[in-house]
Amino acid sequence: MTDQELDQLSINTIRTLSIDAVQQAKSGHPGTPMALAPLVYTIWNRVMQFDPEDPIWPNRDRFVLSNGHASMLLWSVLHLTGTKAVNAEYERLGQPSVTLEDIKRFRQLDSKAPGHPEYHWVSGVETTSGPLGQGVATSVGMAIAQKWLASRYNRPGFNLFDYRIYAVCGDGCMMEGVSSEAASLAGHLGLGNVCWIYDNNHITIEGNTRITFTEDIAARFQGYGWNVLRVGDANDIERIETALQVFKRTSDRPTFIILDSHIGYGSPHKQDTAEAHGEPLGDDEVRLTKRSYGWPEDAKFLVPDGVREHFAAGIGARGAKARHQWADLFASYAVKNPELAKEIDLVQRRELPAGWDQNLPVFPADPKGIAGREASGKVLNVLAQNIPWFLGGSADLGPSNKTTLKFEGAGDFQIDNPSGKNLHFGIREHAMGAVVNGLSLSKLRPFGATFFIFSDYARPAMRLSALMELPTIFVFTHDAMGDGEDGPTHQPVEHLASLRAIPGLAVFRPGDANEVVEAYRYIVQLRHQPTVMTLSRQPLPTLDRGKYEPATGVAQGAYVLADAPGGSPELILIASGSEVSLAVDAYEQLVKEGIKARVVSMPCWDIFERQTAEYRSSVLPPSVKARVAIEQASTFGWERYVGDKGRVIGMHTFGASAPLKELQKKFGFVPDQVVAVAKEVLASVNS
């Protein structure tokens, strides 16, 4: 069999595996895998540097399937290339990542061939995708990471990091705003290491794209500063490879390849409808389609002789050679640059350098205090010096978020300075979230920042960060009503409850400067969990830790900050953030009046819920029913901590435009109001 015949046989194997998997699952999208099989085959078996034996080799090329509904493309090539599995500790397991049995159980429980690509579930998946636009936006973060890694670690004769990123996308990705944000940023930064291949098939769920999407996509990307190419036939693998080689020779700007395709190539009748609505073709259509491929009509999940061997001779041999050459290069590099080699090893295992927490600030007691954002800025500047691969920035709000890294050598990441640690995302919160995910998927320790109110714009990417179990950090300032005069458009009310609802996302709202320090101390040690820091704009009193309990209690999510004499409270005040010092003021007044009160600082619900039942009961004794929670946010969710006898002093409406002190008085966030409510609750429980 000729190489050309083996190429076509391999392409049709990808197609028929996809058709059979969707048909057996009675669910999925067969059309796009049929149309894009030649493209994905060409990327994997002819172009990409990837070793199936070691899918986390640091200098591998990355493949991102942004139109994730076509996941059978990925499951097919991961199976046919024999890509091996890796566990959460980055150990190579030797077993296949995706078996033929997984493909036969496509979209079924526990199959390694789920409905969309899932990063933490299937080895060889570089990012979870499915929400359209997220994959391509995340690929920009991967491209920034490669530039940064190369700038820090490459040396003359030692190009340790020179990989590329290939992202496949469709009309839906192009319509979603996040792709526009990310493409604009990638063009500005001249990221010549990323290529988006756009499946121009003119079909979405409601029909032909002419009803909604008629812009000149080529002109759009030329306007972004991309190199725009066109391949007029999605089945012409020679032209596809030529375009990809042009990308590899283009170093000064990203590449956008428009690939003209017809969904369900070879399926004579139902392909457009089936793809748009995610339907199987049906038995008759499957036979007709296989007949058009010259395939045995009744064969299911057939992998013909020679196909696996063809992939082994292509990507297998090429990837193994590249990886072994890299390993030899790294061994020589480690002799000449032992400290940098050690850093690279730590990065790949998501571990921290020795002394990563040295010189973290300790803030003295101060009734005037310091704003949460100011304390955060001081901590970030220490961490970024102690951890070389700790970097990040804001969506155009660095001076206000206090996230600017100001130490000597920090620099700004720009096209002419890829070693900079200050990232400037522009006013692109959604792309910022996706870029932060891409950086984290590349094993750096990134943070992204904006005002808390604008977390709404970043939320879809943050949700994916939690789904992927990435140790991303999102820093949100102006966390409540501290920017009072800006009014309700800038005062987050529902946001804490909203983000606390995301599984696995640890949302911190520290109550003073030392709680900020301890929150970061906890966060930086995480390897598989994303976090949010919500910080005040206004100064918060720095509590006297000689009088009150140490801020190290933050690591438990909640802790007893001030207690009743003898440790037997009859009333518990629970607070987070700026309301912690308010609770302390009310506590002092209650204690003077002989009421046995306790103050619990609760900076992170998620971490508190992970503690033992014994610890949780020691902080919030079940026998104490008189409880008051205080938080400048929606009361939603606090009932789990105050119970049916307690009360929540929170927000039941949006805020208002006024100076902070007036707002605090209007909405009840003053000591006298807290004391009054506490007494009412205590009286009600006692009666």
- Which are the catalytic amino acids? 429
d(CA 594, CA 339): 60
Distance CA 586, CA 345 (A): 51
For residue 66, what is the enclosing H or E element?
A: none
In angstroms, the Cα distances linking 48 to 18, 24, 118, 195, 246 are 22, 31, 21, 12, 14
Phi, psi torsion values for 127, nearest 5 degrees = -160, 145
DSSP 3-state of 683: helix
Q: In whole angstroms, what is the distance from residue 587 CA to residue 177 CA?
A: 48
Return the bridge partners of 255, or none. 195, 227
Block residue for tokens 């009361």 = 635
Angle at alpha carbon of residue 289, lines to 235 and 204, rounded to 5°: 65
DSSP lists the bridge partners of residue 508 as 533
Task: Return the closest-CA partner of residue 414 out of 393, 440, 388.
Answer: 393
Beta bridge partners of 600: 560, 574
String of DSSP letters for 279-342: ----HHHHHHHHHHTT--TT--S---TTHHHHHIIIIIHHHHHHHHHHHHHHHHHHHH-HHHHH
Element (H, E) at 113: none
- What are the φ/ψ torsions at residue 116 (nearest 5 degrees)? -140, 155
Backbone CA torsion sign across 494, 499, 503, 509: negative
Q: β-pairing, 597-601 with 559-562?
A: antiparallel
| Sign of torsion over alpha carbons 95, 441, 129, 502 | positive
Closest CA to 424 of 141, 185, 253, 148: 185
CB 412, CB 420: distance < 8 Å: yes
Strand 255-260 and strand 92-96: the pairing is unpaired
Torsional sign, CA 341, 342, 346, 347 = negative
Two tokens at 225? 């500063």
Q: Which two tokens stand for residue 598?
A: 């306790």
Write the CB contacts of 98 (distance below 8 Å, at least 6 apart in sequence).
75, 78, 79, 83, 112, 113, 122, 124
Angle at 583 between CA 577 and CA 584, to 5 degrees: 105
The H or E element that residue 85 is part of is: strand 84-86
- Is the distance from CB of 129 to CB of 438 less than 8 angstroms? no
Q: Which residue has the tokens 């206090």?
A: 402
Burial label, 633 (beta-carbon count in 10 A; 0-12, 13-18, 19+): buried
Q: In terms of Cα–Cα distance, which of 481, 532, 528 is closest to 509? A: 532
